[in-house]
Structure 1
Amino acid sequence: MKHNKHLVIVIESLGGGGAQKAAINLARQWHEEGFIASFILFSKQSEICFAPPSEVKIHFLEKCPSPDARGVRANLRRIFLLRRMLKSLNPDTVLTMVSTTNTIGCLASIGMKWRLVISERNDPTRQKIGRFWQIARTLSYPFADLITANSEVALKFLAKQHKKEKLLYVPNIVATSSADTVSQTTKISCLKILSVGRLHRQKRYDVLLTALYIVRKTTTNFHLTVLGDGPLAPELKEQSITLGLEEHITWHGFRSDTEEFYKKNHVFVLASDYEGSSNALLEAMAFGLAPVISNSQEGSLQYVKNEESGSVFQQGDANSLAEHLLDYYRSPLRLRQHREKALQTSVSFDKTNAFEIWKSALTGEMPS
């Protein structure tokens, strides 16, 4: 393997999402190995919440159609611009992330000599990307040298359409805690709840707020911290006021220092209708937070076992979510047991092992 192995990561933006954080973690590890990493973003107006190391260059597609521009002409333009830039950079490997970018990357790489690896970051059985992109995904993915996914449910879906030898499960590179136990709390004066993610319909913060309204009928000894921003911010804040929850919630917007918040909370709630394998969830477990997730997040259910390493509530059911939160408030022992089990489960989130799998995938030197 060449010492200067050049990896180009293609992603629409470096905004505050899980795929973006995963891309930054990978680029950082790649650079630390002594290799060359760089990014291609779709425009100079692309949001950058996660900054890569200074040695990792960021390139922008000049005159690329805005994210709002749709249709065949706009996407052909993106394909042409990406192909031209990739040819100028002459990478050894190209990694694309997220379904629509994967499709554009596949079509831009037809006939080129670089190794193309694509990364499916969500649950394709539930994520709605539109019929055009569904068809385009099916037709374009075979042009990739390797198709990766960060959840078993995504891999099973892809296996119905693509050759098994082209598929690989690749775990997230997760920031872990040095702690090996959680505090021996015997009484909870205030249940501290954390939720991290974009304020988007998929994340179902409306369900979480309604659940807290139900919890408030029993106790006011709780506080929710929300890390994330997005299009639903005004609507959700208004909902919290309407429900009388404003004193129980702190909206921090996007924060890159999530580890500081993991250390200060007891419970992590991910109320999403669907997920791939959530980076934030795995990080929270690694810091000993008891996870509470919906039963529709199949990619995360391989880590969160109900009544063992966390709690699983019925998708979209605020009463079910509220009951799980109240159970933690009423039983500090149960909370501590779930936190400890989450921490133990996180041992499998080995950053070094995850990177070795990524390195094998990107270089073509596959593990046995």
Structure 2
Amino acid sequence: MKKIIFYIDSMQKGGANRVMANLVDFFTNKRFEVVLVNDIVATGDIPEYEVNPLAKRIILNESGTNAIISNLNRIKKLRKIILEEKPDCVLSFMGPPNVRMLLASIFLSCRKVVSVRNDPNREYGKNLIKKYLTNCIFLLADGCVFQTEDAAKYFFNKIRRKSTIIVNPVNELFFNTHSSEKRKNIVTVGRLFPQKNHKLLIHAFSLIAKKYPDEKLIIFGEGPLKNDLKDYACNMGIEKCVVFPGSISNVNVELSKTKVFVLSSDYEGLPNALMEAMACGTAVVSTDCPAGGPKYLLKESNAGILVPCNNAEKMAEAIEIMMSEEKNIFYRDQAKKKSIDFLPETVFNKWEEFLFEKK
């Protein structure tokens, strides 16, 4: 029986964490021996994704005021786990976990694979020293998984030659959800963090809200900016038509009733929420943000409208286009066609093939 260790900081609800939870479930169900390692158990307002109970879970529980010492201790603990578990492969997600895993597994015989889940300029740094050091550490990996070609360009050619691009899988539930005949409202789904730039979306909606008195802007998600965003909507004079329901479990049902889904992020890897909306056959608008995920999803397939980052006027124009019934139906159909690329079986089989290929 093959064994794989997955490593990410936590399982709190977020795009990369969801993909890892799905991968843990897939490999566990395929009778792989699966170990999931996290730095911490998530607490607070953001809940965790459920982890397949057949997978072994280990929490490093290393925290402290000194970040350097904490990271060194995490590396030491992770190396001990790899030595004891003797996996065939170790896969890590996200910036700091990728670096820690590669340092922890130096000179160990298992296959080491890292996955870049966001804009590497944000995760690892733009300046030449940080970029060079990151590339040097990534040379230790046996394989790298990127979500877009733009993200891969951050790294040395030698690293790119042992890499692959794999899109995120979207749960079949989204493909199979019945599409509502009557669709209403502008919706977004995501953590209420600065990266998601919900203020841009609120600003854009404020420019057209009076034209569409029967439509609301619904922002699903939780996070530290919730009260700030409510105040911003109030300052823009649209507090009565901007709704903050919090996190929801039946995202597919809400998306199937949505007229327009909007992603307003400053940067993303390959955004799950956007892909899920497409799988539900929802018309989508997105910022053309680095590292090129939305561009990959929408541009060539004409599956949605891309707008510049931080441009409320262009975003408002795009939303207005989607409010036309004829255009809405066209973009819904295009989004649904493109979403076939995200079917779980196709995506997970690519992961298995890459993770366990011979060195």
Shift of the 358–365 alpha-carbon distance from structure 1 to 2, 3 Å rule, reads: farther
1:6 maps to 3
Q: 1:118 aligns with which of 114, 121, 134?
A: 114
Q: Name whichever structure is richer in helix by fraction.
A: 2
Structure 1 spans left out of the alignment, 5+ residues? none
Query: What does 1:172-321 correspond to in 2, within 5 Å?
Result: 172-176=168-172, 177-179=174-176, 191-297=184-290, 298-305=292-299, 308-321=302-315
Shift of the 142–194 alpha-carbon distance from structure 1 to 2, 3 Å rule, reads: same
Shift of the 30–284 alpha-carbon distance from structure 1 to 2, 3 Å rule, reads: same
Larger mean Cα displacement after TM superposition, 103-112 or 84-93: 84-93
2:200–2:310 CA contact under 8 A, matched in 1:
yes
2:50 maps to 51
Is residue 2:30 matched to residue 1:30? no
1:103 maps to 99
2:301–2:334 CA contact under 8 A, matched in 1:
no
* Distance in 2, Cα, partners of 1:250 & 1:82: 43
Structure 1 residue matching 2:187: 3-state secondary structure = strand
* Distance in 2, Cα, partners of 1:300 & 1:363: 29
2:86–2:110 CA contact under 8 A, matched in 1:
yes
Letter in 2 for 1:305: K
* Distance in 2, Cα, partners of 1:5 & 1:333: 51
* Distance in 2, Cα, partners of 1:233 & 1:312: 26
Q: 1:139 aligns with which of 136, 140, 148?
A: 136
Letter in 2 for 1:304: L
* CA displacement at 1:312 relative to structure 2: 1.2
CA RMSD of aligned residues (A): 2.4
* Distance in 2, Cα, partners of 1:13 & 1:129: 22
* Distance in 2, Cα, partners of 1:241 & 1:15: 30
2:154 maps to 157
2:171–2:343 CA contact under 8 A, matched in 1:
no
Letter in 2 for 1:53: N
The CA deviation string for residues 285-344 of structure 1, in whole angstroms up to 9 with x for no partner, is 011111101122422212213893111112101111111112222x11101110111001
* Distance in 1, Cα, partners of 2:157 & 2:220: 36
Structure 2 residue matching 1:116: 3-state secondary structure = strand
* CA displacement at 1:156 relative to structure 2: 2.7
Shift of the 147–178 alpha-carbon distance from structure 1 to 2, 3 Å rule, reads: closer
Shift of the 355–208 alpha-carbon distance from structure 1 to 2, 3 Å rule, reads: same
* Distance in 1, Cα, partners of 2:300 & 2:228: 31
Question: What is the TM-score normalised by the length of structure 2?
Answer: 0.90
Q: 1:326 aligns with which of 320, 345, 350?
A: 320
1:20 maps to 17
1:117–1:361 CA contact under 8 A, matched in 2:
no
Letter in 1 for 2:159: K
* CA displacement at 1:167 relative to structure 2: 1.1
* CA displacement at 1:215 relative to structure 2: 1.3
Shift of the 239–108 alpha-carbon distance from structure 1 to 2, 3 Å rule, reads: same
* Distance in 2, Cα, partners of 1:108 & 1:145: 14
The CA deviation string for residues 70-122 of structure 1, in whole angstroms up to 9 with x for no partner, is 3x333222211211222222222111000211011100000112211100001
Q: Provide the identity percentage.
A: 28
* Distance in 1, Cα, partners of 2:325 & 2:59: 50
Is residue 2:154 matched to residue 1:168? no
* CA displacement at 1:180 relative to structure 2: 9.6
1:337 maps to 330
Larger mean Cα displacement after TM superposition, 105-114 or 320-329: 320-329
Question: What is the TM-score normalised by the length of structure 1?
Answer: 0.88
Structure 2 residue matching 1:226: 3-state secondary structure = strand
Question: Across the two proteins, how many residue pairs are aligned to each other?
Answer: 354
Q: 1:348 aligns with which of 336, 341, 346?
A: 341
* Distance in 2, Cα, partners of 1:312 & 1:277: 14
* Distance in 2, Cα, partners of 1:290 & 1:50: 27
* CA displacement at 1:128 relative to structure 2: 6.3
Letter in 2 for 1:115: R
Larger mean Cα displacement after TM superposition, 95-104 or 135-144: 135-144
Letter in 1 for 2:251: T
Shift of the 38–249 alpha-carbon distance from structure 1 to 2, 3 Å rule, reads: farther
* Distance in 2, Cα, partners of 1:294 & 1:183: 26
Structure 2 spans left out of the alignment, 5+ residues? none
* CA displacement at 1:225 relative to structure 2: 2.2
* Distance in 2, Cα, partners of 1:162 & 1:266: 45
1:268–1:289 CA contact under 8 A, matched in 2:
yes
* Distance in 2, Cα, partners of 1:87 & 1:282: 38
2:152–2:160 CA contact under 8 A, matched in 1:
no
* Distance in 1, Cα, partners of 2:161 & 2:301: 36
Letter in 2 for 1:108: A
Letter in 1 for 2:158: H
* CA displacement at 1:280 relative to structure 2: 1.4
